[in-house]
Structure 1
Amino acid sequence: MDAGGPGPAPTERGETGGVRTALAGLTTRGRSFLAAGVAAAICAYVLGQSDLLRVGLLLSVLPLVCATVLYRTRYQVAGSRRLSPGRVPAGSEARVHLRVGNVSRLPTGLLMLQDRVPYVLGPRPRFVLDRVEPGGHREVSYRVRSDLRGRYPLGPLQLRLTDPFGMCELTRSFSTYDDLTVIPRVEPLPPVRLSGEAKGYGEGRMRSLALAGDDDVIPRGYRYGDDLRRVHWRSTARHGELMVRREEQPQRARCTVLLDTRRPAFEGAGPDSAFEWAVSGAASVLVHMLERGFSIRLLTDTGDSVPGEGADGFAAVSQGTNETAGLMMDTLAVIGHSDGTGLSRAYDVLRGGNDGLLVAFFGDLDEEQAAVAARMRQRGGGAVAFVLDSRTWRREPADAPGPSDGGGERLRLLREAGWTAVSVPRGAGLEELWRLADRERTGLTAMNGGEGGW
């Protein structure tokens, strides 16, 4: 939100600074008039022509008078900016609404309104506002769009004041600005059966007893239909009425989304790069799992987790879905490559965690890092890995020399450790790969003779 008056105000530098500011605002027309007037005055002095001297004085004085009057004009103008929406997916448009109001008792002259916008959002918007009456306002709007995620500052808002003759222009700026957050693209995913639901909310819902001693039980009053075997006699004697042990509490299913951000694991840049695909994929899975009622944690190869609240860094149960999703989307909007070369920090976080679903987006894996990733698989939870096929992302021919085999050896290592591993070629859609991973998980489960899932 911008607010303030762009009109000039007295400064400690006195009139000298004011004169310099006014003269610096002379336009090409004003400077031409001033130069012509000085030249005419010199010619009049040399030739002794008094009429030419009067013309020269008129040409010289006009731009100076316009600059002085414009500088002395004190407009009280308030401005505001509103983003709709303030958080927009990459490739989508947002609209910026500007409102300029005249809060002084004098009407304004011609105003040129300009807002500072990063070049990735489009051209810098400029508007010409006619005379604004006292107490009146004008509203304008423009659109911005970016294919690159990030957080971009908008502002500060600038006003250019000009005189009726176009001799002088002065620029006044507001002091504040707003941020537009461009988040990764989110692709809707089809519902599939996930092993994490066996211990959370879903068809396979299970409940666990509270881990408390007999003296720590939180009782409640007896209700019709309660099992008498759940009566807590000590609390009943204390309160003088039947008290039963509290009901078993459902455990919310957990899901960790691991995003590999190592710089050596990805090549290329831009909206169609492999890293941007991985970031968009992680965002899609996060939103999908939040909508299904999972407690979510976003983990990177550096070992940092988002939102970092609650047990083991998972989003607290009390946090709303929109708040959690917004926090993670804001993080993914500005996330970049890490300087690390390994996945050991992420492994240290995962190896001591509780059971739950693990969805990982890996870049290029060498044998050492593939072995580390294989050990991340927890016995009590499902795990699915999307491994980018570096050869196709580099657009190398199939017969190009090199050790790359489309990641087949790394995929085999992950699958032997219990992962559902899927190769990600260039141009693949996450929805298609999500279904493919479900089919591979189903086939593996049938071969092992169990239900399982991921």
Structure 2
Amino acid sequence: MSAGGTAQVAEGDRGGEGGLRTALAGLTTRGRSFLAAGLAASVCAYVLGQGDLLRVGLLLAVLPLVCAGMLYRTRYRVAGSRRLSPARVPAASEARVHLRVDNVSRLSTGLLMLQDRVPYVLGPRPRFVLDRVEPGGRREVSYRVRSDLRGRYPLGPLQLRLTDPFGMCELTRSFSAFDTLTVIPRVEPLPTVRLSGEAKGYGDGRQRSLALAGEDDVIPRGYRYGDDLRRVHWRSTARYGELMVRREEQPQRARCTVLLDTRGGAYDGQGPDSAFEWAVSGAASVLVHMLEQGFSVRLLTDTGTSVPGEGADGFAGASQQSADAAGLMMDTLAVIDHSDGAGLSRAYDLLRGGNEGLLVAFFGELDEEQTAVAVRMRQRGGAALAFVLDPEDWSREPSPQQTAAARAADRRRTLRDAGWTVVPVPPGAPFAELWRHADRERAGLATAGGGEGRS
């Protein structure tokens, strides 16, 4: 990603009161000191009748004015561009910003100071001093940015400060273009487990769907141009007197829905180590992992919103578009925030009546009503896995009373009784270990219950 533009440094009024004010406003501390000293010396020389002192005073006063006038009327044309590497970076990781300045005029530039505007969460504002740039020449510099917080951060516009060789005056010109750095949640690599009965999105144990080409398709069907001759069904061909082929079968892609609870009242604390940030990072890890395993993946929140551009069956994994799908979901999770909703009913309405396959949910605090909604979600789908981040566990000052912890344990037990595989999440727990633990928990439930159907 790059941002560019051409700025005509020292472009502006060419005279008059407005141009004079602009030139004088660009005087540096050194220039103003020379001007004040020159005026004071000239006045004193005039009063005392000292001609030599008068000449020195006029020289001191005129020098900054001449520098300001020459700098203001100099017609430099400088082009600037920016490139991010990468433009999408996980939280707590660094990205490098490359800046390039081209002198597109026929005159050499003077001393330039290059400055880029960045939000304070990405670090200090970078500044670079560039020496004389010859006509047609270029200069390239770079700096690093880093953020522990998710989000989309604007970079720019790029600013140039032009100064004279004596440091008497400097003028600032800005480019108009800017870029956006997207800081996505941290994604933790997950081990391959068999939470839904299969380790891959495709497999011999998967349900298979028939690729029908029309209402008249039966087994077998008539030969169509382009059909593979190896699929010819000779017995039916002899019976009907025309070429008949077997109807082809294709594996049905396994589905996975990731439900992220974003209710503001369900989580306590803020910052990169908060429970909500852990849930967002966990959801991102599951989405990427399931895409890599070939699942059709869908992201859903408690408000019923999903990823823009997501189809009815979610994004397909193990395809050429899987990288783009992962990017879209990461962009959505980069800016996701707490919702104002108080319940999970909207998410349940979208899940109701559909075959969502494996359901992986990240819940905050669940009261009795929301626990009942989550129970109904499990009844509508296949395998269901819940990571529960109870505020009582994540609180820095736990309550001495055990009533809240007992209620949370009762609700987790209710979810287990409904068929959920429930994994409580303690602070700072590695997600890969919890993922393995969930696999063992589900295997134990399947053994105790005589096995569960595959989704």
TM-score norm. by structure 1 comes to 0.92
Q: How do residues 186-201 of structure 1 correspond to structure 2 at under 5 angstroms? A: 186-195=187-196, 197=198, 201=202
Secondary structure at the aligned position of 2:276 is classed as helix
Q: Distance in 2 between matches of 1:18 and 1:410?
A: 73
Note closer, same or farther for the CA distance 1:133–1:56 as it changes in structure 2 (3 Å cut): same
Secondary structure at the aligned position of 1:405 is classed as helix
Cα offset for 1:381? 1.1
Note closer, same or farther for the CA distance 1:250–1:307 as it changes in structure 2 (3 Å cut): farther
Q: Distance in 2 between matches of 1:330 and 1:308?
A: 12
Does 2:15 match 1:9? no
Note closer, same or farther for the CA distance 1:347–1:40 as it changes in structure 2 (3 Å cut): same
Cα offset for 1:402? 4.6
Q: Distance in 2 between matches of 1:404 and 1:44?
A: 87
Stretch deviating more after TM superposition (18-27 or 389-398): 389-398
Q: Distance in 1 between matches of 2:89 and 2:39?
A: 56
Does 2:80 match 1:74? no
CA contact 2:111–2:162 (8 Å) conserved in 1: yes
Cα offset for 1:442? 0.4
Cα offset for 1:245? 5.1
Q: Which residue of structure 1 aligns with residue 180 of structure 2? A: 179
Note closer, same or farther for the CA distance 1:316–1:47 as it changes in structure 2 (3 Å cut): same
Cα RMSD for the two superposed structures: 2.5
Q: Which residue of structure 1 aligns with residue 377 of structure 2? A: 376
CA contact 2:114–2:159 (8 Å) conserved in 1: yes
Q: Distance in 2 between matches of 1:363 and 1:165?
A: 63
What whole-Å deviation, never above 9, does each CA across 1:44-94 have from its counterpart, x for those lacking one?
333333333222221111111100000111111111111111111111111
Cα offset for 1:409? 1.1
CA contact 2:201–2:254 (8 Å) conserved in 1: yes
Stretch deviating more after TM superposition (396-405 or 44-53): 396-405
CA contact 1:389–1:406 (8 Å) conserved in 2: no
Q: Which residue of structure 2 aligns with residue 167 of structure 1? A: 168
Q: Which residue of structure 2 aligns with residue 145 of structure 1? A: 146
Does 2:229 match 1:223? yes
CA contact 2:203–2:251 (8 Å) conserved in 1: no
Q: Distance in 2 between matches of 1:325 and 1:379?
A: 26
Cα offset for 1:418? 1.1
Note closer, same or farther for the CA distance 1:196–1:304 as it changes in structure 2 (3 Å cut): farther
Q: How do residues 289-308 of structure 1 correspond to structure 2 at under 5 angstroms? A: 289-308=290-309
Q: Which residue of structure 2 aligns with residue 213 of structure 1? A: 215
Q: Which residue of structure 1 aligns with residue 315 of structure 2? A: 315
CA contact 1:33–1:63 (8 Å) conserved in 2: yes
Q: How do residues 47-446 of structure 1 correspond to structure 2 at under 5 angstroms? A: 47-195=48-196, 197=198, 201-210=202-211, 213-214=215-216, 220=224, 221=227, 223-224=229-230, 226-228=232-234, 242-244=243-245, 246-311=247-312, 314-315=314-315, 320-397=321-398, 399-400=400-401, 402-405=403-406, 407-446=408-447
Letter in 2 for 1:404: A
Note closer, same or farther for the CA distance 1:293–1:58 as it changes in structure 2 (3 Å cut): same
Cα offset for 1:7? 1.3
Q: Which residue of structure 2 aligns with residue 37 of structure 1? A: 38
CA contact 2:85–2:97 (8 Å) conserved in 1: yes
Q: Distance in 2 between matches of 1:299 and 1:196?
A: 22
CA contact 1:391–1:406 (8 Å) conserved in 2: no
Q: Distance in 2 between matches of 1:36 and 1:232?
A: 112
Cα offset for 1:224? 2.8
CA contact 1:199–1:206 (8 Å) conserved in 2: no
Q: Distance in 2 between matches of 1:352 and 1:146?
A: 41
CA contact 1:389–1:426 (8 Å) conserved in 2: no
Q: Distance in 2 between matches of 1:366 and 1:297?
A: 26
Note closer, same or farther for the CA distance 1:428–1:438 as it changes in structure 2 (3 Å cut): same
CA contact 2:353–2:380 (8 Å) conserved in 1: no
Secondary structure at the aligned position of 1:95 is classed as strand
Secondary structure at the aligned position of 2:39 is classed as helix
Letter in 1 for 2:215: G
Q: Distance in 1 between matches of 2:384 and 2:450?
A: 18
Q: Distance in 1 between matches of 2:280 and 2:223?
A: 46
Cα offset for 1:400? 3.7
Stretch deviating more after TM superposition (37-46 or 26-35): 37-46
CA contact 2:315–2:322 (8 Å) conserved in 1: no
TM-score norm. by structure 2 comes to 0.92
Q: Distance in 2 between matches of 1:439 and 1:316?
A: 27
Letter in 2 for 1:71: Y
**Which stretches in structure 1 are left out of the alignment for 5+ residues?**
none
Count of residue pairs brought into register by the alignment: 447
Note closer, same or farther for the CA distance 1:453–1:274 as it changes in structure 2 (3 Å cut): farther
Cα offset for 1:387? 0.4
Q: Distance in 2 between matches of 1:232 and 1:171?
A: 87
Secondary structure at the aligned position of 1:365 is classed as coil
Letter in 2 for 1:119: Y
Secondary structure at the aligned position of 1:353 is classed as coil
Stretch deviating more after TM superposition (210-219 or 347-356): 210-219
Q: Distance in 2 between matches of 1:43 and 1:76?
A: 43
Identity of aligned residues (%): 75
Note closer, same or farther for the CA distance 1:231–1:160 as it changes in structure 2 (3 Å cut): farther
Secondary structure at the aligned position of 1:76 is classed as strand
Note closer, same or farther for the CA distance 1:7–1:225 as it changes in structure 2 (3 Å cut): closer
What whole-Å deviation, never above 9, does each CA across 1:115-152 have from its counterpart, x for those lacking one?
11111111111111111111111111111111111111
Stretch deviating more after TM superposition (440-449 or 300-309): 300-309
Q: Distance in 2 between matches of 1:35 and 1:358?
A: 75
Letter in 1 for 2:11: A
Note closer, same or farther for the CA distance 1:310–1:219 as it changes in structure 2 (3 Å cut): farther
Letter in 2 for 1:315: F
Note closer, same or farther for the CA distance 1:199–1:137 as it changes in structure 2 (3 Å cut): closer
Cα offset for 1:227? 3.5
Cα offset for 1:174? 0.8
